[in-house]
Amino acid sequence: MNSRTTKETAIICLAAVAAIALLAIPFEVSSRTADGATTNNSGYLFWVVVAGVAALWITLSYRYLTAKKRAQIELTGSEQYRKLADEYRRLADMVITSQEHIDLKLGEFSAQLDYLREQSESLHRILKDVE
């Protein structure tokens, strides 16, 4: 269940108040005055309907704009995720490349150490033979 934002709650409360106000208004199109004449209240009813339509339009516009903004935020989030994933792949490739270079260098050093060990052993043999 998603919690509502403050704006959404305010709009729902405003719509509820407007609905209660519309239900409480007597929809008598004509009324009698004290002298018995009838007056036409259709202008009043027209403005009530216009206000209701305007409230509905504002509510629907707000819902559309919040949905649009939410979609933009999700799209931006996914673009940022893609950028971070690409950066991670690039760094992982760099690490693998550097590990391969280190392995090559260690192999060269190992070969040089073996060569120096052989030279040292042959030098020891020669020195023992000279003694």
Reading the block at residue 17, the tokens are: 């108040």
Q: What is the pLDDT of residue 77?
A: 76
Q: With CA atoms as reference, report the closest residue to 25 among 41, 4, 6, 9.
A: 41
Q: What is the pLDDT of residue 73?
A: 82
Query: pLDDT tens digits, the chain, 131 residues: what are they?
Result: 466 677 777 777 777 777 766 666 655 545 555 565 555 556 666 777 777 788 878 888 888 888 888 888 887 777 778 888 899 999 999 999 999 999 999 999 999 999 999 999 999 999 888 87
Distance separating alpha carbons of residues 112 and 119, to the nearest angstrom:
10
Reading the block at residue 42, the tokens are: 């259709």
Alpha-helical (H) ranges within the chain are 6-24, 42-130
Residue 30 and residue 41 in contact, taking contact as beta carbons nearer than 8 Å: yes
Q: Specify which residues 30 forms β-bridges with.
A: 40
Distances (CA, A) of 59 to 16, 26, 49, 112: 12, 25, 15, 79
The domains of the chain are located at: 6-130
